[in-house]
Amino acid sequence: LTEVFTFFQDKDKNVVSVKDIPTIIRTLGLVPSEAEMRKTVAAMLGDESADTVHLAAFLTIAKKLILDRRFPGSNKEEVGRALAVLAKEGRNYLEETHPKPESKGGVYGDGKKTVS
């Protein structure tokens, strides 16, 4: 936790900008809603009206979030099942990212020309 925090900290002051807290929280693999994020930031600030969050306050709240398994993200299997349900309903949201090979030459995938 400290390593992620120090990556964003302002010089060696053991503080980060309030604006960086959502990025730090998501870097830890937590995925809160915007409302939950506002509550989390408010908890880190306490009664202070500040533009920065101190390391000690961050560690206290972040440890609790992780130990309580708050705001878990979706794993690959859950995302796959959700996309399968949408596909059955005819709502495909993913398209191929690589073009298929052309039968009479052309460009394929890595940008190299193919020859038939």
- Domain boundaries along the sequence of the chain: 2-67, 76-114
The predicted-structure confidence for 22-78, as pLDDT tens digits, reads as follows 999 988 888 888 999 999 999 999 877 688 999 999 999 999 988 887 776 666 777
Task: Output the CATH code of domain 2-67.
Answer: 1.10.238.10
Half-sphere exposure of 54 (CA within 13 A, CB side): 8
DSSP symbol at 30: B
Q: Which pTM was predicted?
A: 0.59
Amino acid at 6: T
